[in-house]
Amino acid sequence: MDTCIEKIRTICADLLAKGKVQKVIGFAEGSIPMASRPIAVTSKEDVAKLVFNATCGLNLANYVSDVLPKEGKIAVTAKGCDSRNLVTHMVENQVSRDQLYIIGVPCTGMVDKRKIAALFEDEITDFIEDGDTLTIVSPQKKEKVSKKDVLRHNCRVCTHRNPVVFDVMAAEPVEEQSLDQPFADVDHIAAMDPAARWAHFQELTKNCIRCYACRNACPLCYCPTCFVDESSPQWVGKGQDKTDINTFHFLRAFHCAGRCTDCGACVEACPMGINVRDFTRKLNKDALELFGWEAGLDMEKRPPLDVYSPDDPNDFIK
Amino acid sequence: MNFITIDKKDWTTGIDKSRETYQVFGPVQDENGCQIKPLAPDVHPLMDAGVTVMSPKSVLFPQTQKMLTATLDASIEDHHVMKPVKKDDTPRVVLGIRPYDARAILLVKLNFDNPDYQDPYWCEAYAATTFVGLGVNHPGPCDFSTSTGCGPFSEEGLDVLMADLDDRYLAKILTEKGETWAGACGFDTRADAAESQSLFDILRKEAEKNITSVDTDQLSEKSILDLYEAPFWDDVAFSCINCGTCTFVCPTCWCFDIQDETKHKTAVRFRNWDTCMSPLFTHHASGHNPRGSKVQRVRQRFMHKLKYFVDKYDQGIMCVGCGRCVASCPVNIDIREVCTIMNNYESK
Amino acid sequence: MENPYVPYPVRIDDIEVATEDKSLKTFTFVFQNPADEEKFAYKAGQFAELSIPGVGEIPIGIASSPVEKGFVKFTVFRTGMVTTHLHNMKKGDIMGIRGPLGNWYPWEKLENKNVVIIGGGFAFTTLRSSIVYMLDPANRSRFKNIDVVYGARSPGMLLYREELFDWEKRDDINMHITVDGTDDPEWQYHTGFVPQVVEKNAPPADEDTYAIVCGPPIMIKFTQPALTKLGYQEHQIIMSLENRMKCGIGMCGRCNIGKELVCKDGPVFTLEQINQTPKEY
Amino acid sequence: MMGNLLEHMGVERDRLHFSWISSAEATKFVDVVKEISDKVRALDTDKKFAKDYTK
């Protein structure tokens, strides 16, 4: 992916120089190994700050509606999943197509930082990416790994690596993956008995500190007042009682039903390493099976729980 | 000052012995990383753990803490009268706390134990706790504790400071509480003071070589309003998603929220950690919010830590350089960079 | 160890609807344990946390005056969860009060000075406390001229109406009561916004005159220039601030303006102090 | 989908119920409520989403 960054920078410098966009939202180099940070670039001198690599795991669609100018456009670099969330934003009227200049970036996946950290007993001091080869250094050892082996789970099961909407592409499209068992993780949980499933989710969220990083990193979560912050009525308690934690995770996930693109930003952001995708993946699977729906692919259609169709499955109503 | 050596072969026996007197806290590992937690009777602390994801502040200041209760049943005497809950303030020991976290406890103490008010929940837990620290032999890439008035072998706030010497711990007993703890464990092999101190000094110097430094010397000279009105905050805050991670993992963040809940006829008032990153933190009932925007909240966090606290208490910055917020921030906002920007800022 | 979070149990002794739109009610509380009343010794300008078990707490300025014994009074605007619950409570119900909290108007400094009190809307509670305190026979001689400018939207929205009209008749206090507008032909006081009434009627400042200002932000914003025109300097303008609070004792961290905590270092500040700090209120 | 997710989390399906009931269908409402209560009672006293303040 490092070849596309020169093209991204050239495109952005040109857009800014010609005044076609007021700012560019992209990623910049982080201050510690294996980190990157979202950045807004407004001058062509600053485009050199832009990077794109396997640590850019957040979803930039999350930043778009906060910085929309009254007039004119902003540019945003978008991986496959970011572009699907931009579509979702457009369908849900958070942003309109003509406010955006989308720089599509074909993506071969983001790395699972926890998986890499787990390969080391001490802390990682350097991380170099060269195509599929990652060189990772700690005081004790230097390790070369293949990026394919340390991809995040959502990237391993991604079937939309190429942006679905764009004004310009920063590189040639990459080959899409085809999967035999796209929802093996969901099936694995579904195969357990109810008590084991309950135990699985209890164990999953037991370290949750309710920082709401999962919610805030999610481009779908743009409600002015989230249900957890509402005080009249107060839907959910604010403490560390497991009932409240369960309620938060269950409802947060359900609010993403039929809208989630499985971009993985929630898991990427979680400081406690909780795979909150265990909730949303089930919904994604059901959306596909019940409604033939994958979010963020069609600019003309509202998500399935937003619309009524006589063909909707309704055997749950008794 | 007394030094003792503890052979690692005797460590677990000693710790088990101390359980008769103390509730033992220490680092434990699970699939979500390492944290300092109360240890079950059959669990031993993972002493060579790196930086724990969460700081040990929860030992004295749990994320959710019951404060008061009342019955709402009008047939019972004293109904609707809130009374303190019974607390467990039996002796406890925190093993393997790092020196920066020990300093953090002293900074938090400035808030909870001041001349006007003492917070009984925090203060009584503090009085009941012995802190057995472990020096940091191999500081990580986010550690900048030498710039914050402590360092890898700082003794401040500790009752015992230990150094890991592979097959044994060398322990410096710093307080009477520390002496009592060593006694309860049966650790009593004295070590030569001068020799031990020089070992500590060697380890400290070796560790300090790997620590990045951040300048804080100009912060107290700046004017609050100049820094507050400085133009750099928009850039600092852009990537922030306003989660509370930085404040929750921080050992010095003490802000809390008070909440009431009822079930049937029981009312409970408890407190939860709160975060200045949340809009709700300052939201008036009228709808007005003095810190309604993300930039204002990010600015508040850094101004509090690096300026307001400096001016209010004259104890340096409200940060101990543990690097947790740097490591855990989902969008890589780095307090070291912000501190440098603030420290170097000259208003036009 | 004293637990500053434990409220004193009180009984609601009286509830009075304070304004015509019923959005404000004045609650009179009596301490369940008489000894608590002594512990609750307060000065005009302080506030307390009204504490309803199972519902929550709210910081409210004390409307009764230290010279009034046997009860404490609070006038509460119905706006959030706790205040709505409180408005639905009945005489005889038991709840709690925690305090007194915060600082007070600088009564030591105000001795032998002219005092101008300026209030708007329902921010008149601690000002009522102050006026009653100053007018008390034991205290009146300690202050020189007292002027009061108080305004509300309409006559029915004025708090403590009967007291206002009683004070109006006295000669040891100059009342300037105003409403934004009224169709009452009998209305015999001012009409117009507080800042204009201040500019026309408040005494010009000399070094022995201090103004205490409480009101909605918009009123404060426009009253400041009026006072400046009359010669008041920043240190002669005293204000009481409000911020979201929880603990009320400077520990929970949310109510700061710069390094000052509104609950503990305030709520009373001079304009001079406020101008040196970020205006996050 | 909500029922599926709850079930996936290990919460019994019978705890969630959807029905179309018009305001005129009082008897249907009574029947449905009875049916739900019976089903939930049959599920045992499970405290999955219940708080306990005694702890």
Residue at A149 is within a domain = no
Res. D46 pLDDT band, cuts 50 70 90: low
Question: Number of helices and strands (H, E) in chain D?
Answer: 2, 0
**H or E element: which one contains A16?**
helix A2-17
Question: Is residue C58 within 8 Å of C50, Cβ to Cβ?
Answer: yes
Per CB-CB distance under 8 Å, the chain A contacts of C56 are none
One domain for residues A170 and A42? yes
Per CB-CB distance under 8 Å, the chain B contacts of A271 are 53, 245, 248-249, 328, 330
Per CB-CB distance under 8 Å, the chain A contacts of D36 are none
Per CB-CB distance under 8 Å, the chain A contacts of B32 are 207, 272-274
One domain for residues A68 and A212? no
B residues 115..154 contacting A (CB < 8 A):
138, 140-142
Q: What's the CA gap between B160 and B133, in Å, rounded?
A: 6
Put simply, the answer to whether C80 touches A234 (Cβ < 8 Å) is no
pLDDT tens by residue, C239-252: 999 889 999 999 99
Put simply, the answer to whether B81 touches C96 (Cβ < 8 Å) is yes
Which pLDDT score is estimated for B50? 81
Res. D13 pLDDT band, cuts 50 70 90: confident
Collapse the DSSP code of B196 into the 3-class scheme (helix H, G, I; strand E, B; otherwise coil) and give the result: helix
Residue at A147 is within a domain = no
Stated pTM of the model: 0.92
Which pLDDT score is estimated for D10? 85
Which pLDDT score is estimated for D45? 65
Put simply, the answer to whether B280 touches A274 (Cβ < 8 Å) is no
Other CB atoms within 10 Å distance of the CB of residue D32: 16
Per-position DSSP letters for A172-223, written without gaps between them: PPPPPP--S-TTHHHHHHHTS-HHHHHHHHHHHTTT-----HHHHH-TT---
Which domains does chain C show, CATH number per domain? 8-100 (2.40.30.10), 107-240 (3.40.50.80)
Q: What's the CA gap between A107 and A81, in Å, rounded?
A: 9
Q: What's the CA gap between B3 and B173, in Å, rounded?
A: 6
One domain for residues A268 and A236? yes
The contacts of residue A314 (CB under 8 Å, 6+ apart) are none
Domain count, chain A: 2
Put simply, the answer to whether A272 touches B294 (Cβ < 8 Å) is no
Per CB-CB distance under 8 Å, the chain B contacts of D53 are 69, 261, 263, 266, 268
Residue at A136 is within a domain = no
Which pLDDT score is estimated for C9? 96
One domain for residues A191 and A83? no
The ranges of chain B with pLDDT < 70 are 1, 32
Q: What's the CA gap between C203 and A73, in Å, rounded?
A: 56
One domain for residues A167 and A199? no
Put simply, the answer to whether D48 touches A186 (Cβ < 8 Å) is no
Is some CB atom of chain A closer than 8 A to the CB atom of C81? yes
Per CB-CB distance under 8 Å, the chain B contacts of C9 are 78, 80-81
pLDDT tens by residue, C162-200: 999 999 999 999 999 999 988 888 888 888 898 888 888
Based on its alpha-carbon atoms, the radius of gyration of chain D, rounded to whole angstroms, reads 14
Per CB-CB distance under 8 Å, the chain D contacts of B263 are 51, 53
**H or E element: which one contains A278?**
helix A277-291
Domain boundary among A146, A179, A212: A179
The domain in which residue A307 lies consists of 180-311
| Average pLDDT rounded to a whole number, residues A91-116 | 93
One domain for residues A301 and A224? yes
Distance from the B340 Cα atom to the nearest Cα atom in chain D, whole angstroms? 46
Return the beta strands (E) in chain A as ranges: 23-29, 36-41, 50-51, 74-78, 100-104, 126-130, 133-137, 142-146, 168-169
Per CB-CB distance under 8 Å, the chain A contacts of D25 are none
Position D28, amino acid: K
In this complex, the residue of D1, D3, D9 whose CB is nearest that of residue A197 is D9
Q: For B310-322, give one letter per residue: b (16+ CB within 10 A) or e.
A: bebeeebbbbbbb
pLDDT tens by residue, C3-18: 999 999 999 999 999 9
Which pLDDT score is estimated for D53? 64
Put simply, the answer to whether A37 touches B31 (Cβ < 8 Å) is no
Percentage helix, strand, coil for chain D under 3-state DSSP, each rounded to 5: 50, 0, 50
In this complex, the residue of D19, D20, D51 whose CB is nearest that of residue A243 is D51
Distance from the A29 Cα atom to the nearest Cα atom in chain C, whole angstroms? 32
Residue D54: closest C-alpha in chain B: B266
Is some CB atom of chain A closer than 8 A to the CB atom of B33? yes
Per CB-CB distance under 8 Å, the chain D contacts of A250 are 5-6, 9
Is some CB atom of chain C closer than 8 A to the CB atom of B296? yes
One domain for residues A188 and A243? yes
One domain for residues A41 and A172? yes
One domain for residues A4 and A29? yes
Residue A284: closest C-alpha in chain D: D1
Residue at A50 is within a domain = yes
Residue A233: closest C-alpha in chain C: C81
Put simply, the answer to whether C84 touches A232 (Cβ < 8 Å) is yes
Per CB-CB distance under 8 Å, the chain D contacts of B266 are 53
- Please report, for residues B303, B314, C21, C62, C151, the alpha-carbon distance to residue B309 in angstroms, rounded to integers and kept in the order given: 8, 7, 44, 30, 39
| Average pLDDT rounded to a whole number, residues A61-80 | 90
Omega before C267 within 30 of 0, i.e. cis: yes
Res. C131 pLDDT band, cuts 50 70 90: very high
Return the beta strands (E) in chain B as ranges: 2-7, 23-30, 33-38, 64-71, 83-84, 92-97, 129-134, 160-165, 168-173, 190-191, 256-263, 266-273
Task: Judge whether residue A67 has pLDDT over 90.
Answer: no
Position A262, amino acid: D
Is some CB atom of chain D closer than 8 A to the CB atom of A286? yes
- From B159, B157, B153, B161, select the one nearest B176 (Cα to Cα): B159
Q: What is the mean pLDDT of chain C?
A: 92
pLDDT tens by residue, C203-221: 888 889 999 999 888 888 8
Q: Is chain D in touch with chain C: ≥3 Cβ pairs within 8 A?
A: no
- From A304, A283, A91, select the one nearest A312 (Cα to Cα): A304
Distance from the B100 Cα atom to the nearest Cα atom in chain C, whole angstroms? 22
Per CB-CB distance under 8 Å, the chain C contacts of A234 are 81
Q: What region, left, alpha or beta, does residue C145 occupy, with left being phi > 0 and alpha being psi -120 to 50 degrees?
A: beta
Residue at A166 is within a domain = yes
Best D6, D8, D19, D31 residue to mutate vs chain A (most A CBs within 10 Å): D8
Task: Judge whether residue C19 has pLDDT over 70.
Answer: yes
Collapse the DSSP code of A75 into the 3-class scheme (helix H, G, I; strand E, B; otherwise coil) and give the result: strand
Chains that touch A (3 or more CB pairs under 8 A): B, C, D
Which pLDDT score is estimated for C279? 87
**H or E element: which one contains A2?**
helix A2-17
Q: For B130-143, give one letter per residue: b (16+ CB within 10 A) or e.
A: bbbbbbbbbbbbbb
Antiparallel, parallel or unpaired: β A74-78 and A23-29 = parallel
Residue at A145 is within a domain = no
| Average pLDDT rounded to a whole number, residues A1-7 | 76
One domain for residues A105 and A207? no
Which pLDDT score is estimated for B48? 83
Q: Is chain C in touch with chain B: ≥3 Cβ pairs within 8 A?
A: yes
Per CB-CB distance under 8 Å, the chain A contacts of D46 are none
Q: Which two tokens stand for residue A275?
A: 């795979």
Give the CA count within 13 Å in the CB-facing half-sphere of C44.
26
In this complex, the residue of C93, C246, C279 whose CB is nearest that of residue B257 is C246
One domain for residues A45 and A85? yes
| Average pLDDT rounded to a whole number, residues A54-65 | 93
Put simply, the answer to whether A231 touches C80 (Cβ < 8 Å) is yes
Task: Judge whether residue A1 has pLDDT over 60.
Answer: no
Put simply, the answer to whether B266 touches D51 (Cβ < 8 Å) is no
Per CB-CB distance under 8 Å, the chain C contacts of B262 are 54-55
Is some CB atom of chain A closer than 8 A to the CB atom of C94? no
What residue has token string 């520990």? C251
Residue at A118 is within a domain = no
Ranges of H-type helices in chain B:
8-18, 99-112, 120-127, 176-185, 193-208, 224-228, 233-237, 245-249, 294-303, 309-313, 324-328, 335-344
- From C191, C144, C143, C147, select the one nearest C167 (Cα to Cα): C147
Res. C114 pLDDT band, cuts 50 70 90: very high
One domain for residues A36 and A85? yes
Q: What's the CA gap between B292 and B298, in Å, rounded?
A: 11
Q: What is the mean pLDDT of chain A?
A: 91
Is some CB atom of chain A closer than 8 A to the CB atom of B161? no
Best A37, A121, A245 residue to mutate vs chain B (most B CBs within 10 Å): A37
The contacts of residue B190 (CB under 8 Å, 6+ apart) are B2, B3, B4
Which pLDDT score is estimated for A2? 57
Other CB atoms within 10 Å distance of the CB of residue B15: 23
- From A257, A280, A303, A304, select the one nearest A90 (Cα to Cα): A303
Distance from the D9 Cα atom to the nearest Cα atom in chain B, whole angstroms? 20
Collapse the DSSP code of D36 into the 3-class scheme (helix H, G, I; strand E, B; otherwise coil) and give the result: helix
